[in-house]
Structure 1
Amino acid sequence: MLTWGEDVEVHALRARGWSISAIARHTGRDRKTVRAYLNGERQPGQRARAEDPFTPFVEYVSARLVEDPHLWALTLFDELAPLGFTASYQTLTREIRTRKLRPVCTACASAVDRVNGIIEHPAGEETQWDWLDLPNPPASWGWGSMAHLLVGSLAHSGRWRAVLAPSMEQARLVDGLDRVSRALGGATKVWRFDRMATVCHPDSGKVTASFAAVAKHYGVSVAICPPRAGHRKGVVEKVNHTAAQRCWRTLPDDATPESAQAVFDQFAATRGDTRMRPGPGGKSTVATLAAAEPLRPVPAPFPALLRDERVVSRQALIAYRGNRYSVSPELVGTTVEVTRRLDAAVVDVVTTSSTGRQITIARHRLAADGAGAVIRDDGHVIALEAAVLAASTSGGRPHRRKERIPPGPAAQAAAAVLRGDTSDIADTGAPVVDLTTYERLATGRNTLT
């Protein structure tokens, strides 16, 4: 940066005919600096501004906030990191604020404030549960217009885990309770729910007989929130918001249920467990607080029965939780039912007979979810090979893509007719009608008369 006096001297020397190199040597400045001041590109007393590192990302940030005015800045920060954004989260929020990149959502301009109370949650005392509705799952899942996420959160430490499910039926609830409890590291003394029909009677809040058996099995007490009192389980309600905004909202269309589940698991274990929370000895991470909670071991899974319908593929396989299991090749293209008891390590394939009786047609050991394993029974493999060989021999040799197949006699005859040339038509033995014979007979008849 040149001072006003140096700028005057530089211009005076230039007016006397000095070269830029001579002026730079005389003043001890860089030639590019001297040239910039002489050309009016820089002003004395003002430092050259460095290139704004946020400028390359303005277009993307603007487009995302126009598409979704409620997109969290933290979610946007997660998206920008793989794109080369190296600045801090505070820089991102400051740029969004100063550049006014976030548009105003007129539909949500008004908000309602309410007073919230603080509820004490002793360590190891309570787990809060809630179903989160997730609209518009990928069409390839076959789950319809809504997916469901069972979220469980330790009320004291805030650690949470979640399980995706196609429905909220009681068997899915029990499966989710067991899987989430194991992921959390154990069971607390109390499980808190809102008034969901699979747990209690919504009108009275009394626990149903079917779920009472589940609670006895896991040795927990059941606490039901009063009507319209969501703040009673505010920990899991906040987790629902986070899971929807930072995981589900940006889930790609080509995701599978297993890959989506992995997204929730990874986010909860990395971002969720590393949050800082105030504790008895000062601030510590969620993982540290959760490790100190006195949780009880989770018993064997409750024997609930899960049922899912699947279509048998052309390879005589059915897809189930990220793996494929074989069935008899006679069932290719049909719909079968996959059943699984939560306390068993096997999965059954069931079909319904003409009399309405269900028959188990296959039983396989259960592979880990999302492992991509193909479990085949030896008998199914032999039957499939026999069916493939029978189809190949009965239908003749299949045509090769580059096989030479010239026009045959039938095609050549048809082409000759189209050209009006019948001399090259091969004799097929069929009688040919010659009209000249009829002409001679007609001429003779006219002569006799």
Structure 2
Amino acid sequence: MRTRMCFDDVAWERSEAIQEAWIHTLFKKETLMDIGRFILKHRSGKAIELCDPKAGGFNMSFRMKYEDGGSAMIRFPNPGTTMFPEEKVRREVDIMRYLYQHTTIPMPFILHWGTNEETPLALGPFIIMEYIDHAMDLGDALNTPELTIKHRLILDPNIDGPRLELLYRQFAGILIQLSKLQLPMIGSLVQIDDFTWDVGQRPLSYNSNKLVRLGTLPRSELPEMNETFQSASSYFSRLADLHIDHLIHQRNDAVDSADDRRRRYVARLMFRKLAREGRFTSSCTDLGPFNICCDDLRPSNILINDDLQIVGVVDWEFTYAAPVEFSHAPPWWLLLEQLEYWPDGIVAWTEVYELHLKTFLSVLREQESVAIDRGILKDEQRLSGPMQQSWESGDFLVVYAARKSFAFDAVFWKKIDGRFFGPGTSSEDDRWKERLDILTDDKKQTWKR
């Protein structure tokens, strides 16, 4: 049986059709002229060139070059791939301004932002920001050279050790700064005035956008707009509920057979049981304070120059205050590829990942020591120890499964079930039958229906 849950192909095709139709309208001469004039309203200077638009996973960007050597960029969310465009833009602006004031992480300066009604031809909500010149992104620097844009990224197995340490070390510095920011609730930041922010809205996550776009999850199943969470356990429980809602609502390509559906459903019920029992957090961390977490903080969004120095971090839209366990989980992207897509399976991914995790934790410890010597970090604020513990205990995979609905099945039976419920006597495909006795009678009745 398949482990990773597939996207709904019908939903995917519809999403791409919407995006392609919108992009087609952007290349009309009058549209490009209107966009150019709009940028000029918010960035002074003599413009010399409006560059060809650049498409990303969630956004379309237009860069305007100026005679003074600088550039400005306007960015629109892509219809079809971005399910909550207004919310996404508002939350990204607020978190970028917060990070701009509270960290030294390099990021674009926001010149102006606004809603769909303000843009020419109503192209959507937007952000106009200073463009950061760069040679490549971190993914390009780490990727296997022979792989092209048509391939999925995989860490170069022959990458030079000092080069890898240099790049890992700089990313470690970003994580250290984020880990120092603490907030009283789980949710998205809302700016109140120039110097005040409040956790006032739901966590807008990468996963929730994907569930609505490719899992046909009704928007009504997500947390309410103003819903925040007082504890990590309540948020883990909400994520567990979403896994079940996803399986129920995805129309196509979710399962292979009746037994496959039962297997996936039982796994989700058991995961929810653990979440509701508070097994994924501790009394020391459950009630916060909580840390800043960016779901899309990955190499493709980290810009570097020719000297392999980080010059900018972009795409902060899916950033919110999250359980401490999220920050304590090591970065999943150290191999670039996600574990559910690894060619040789999750066990092989784990073995290779552990080798590179040692390198990352080593340079993280170095950066922490430097920060402690400078008086900007306390010894008890180190991330390296909690990350090591998260990996060794298996908490890393719990967090991974909680945050990635389509990867849930790739992780649960191999890595989570046995840890919490003991070894089974049957194969992974059939173990769900053994686990029925663990569920309460009402859960059994729900499964039978």
TM-score using structure 2 length: 0.23
Q: Which structure carries more helix by proportion?
A: 2
Larger RCO (CA within 8 A; separation ≥ 6): 2
Please report the TM-score for the alignment, with normalisation by the length of structure 1: 0.23
Larger Rg: 1
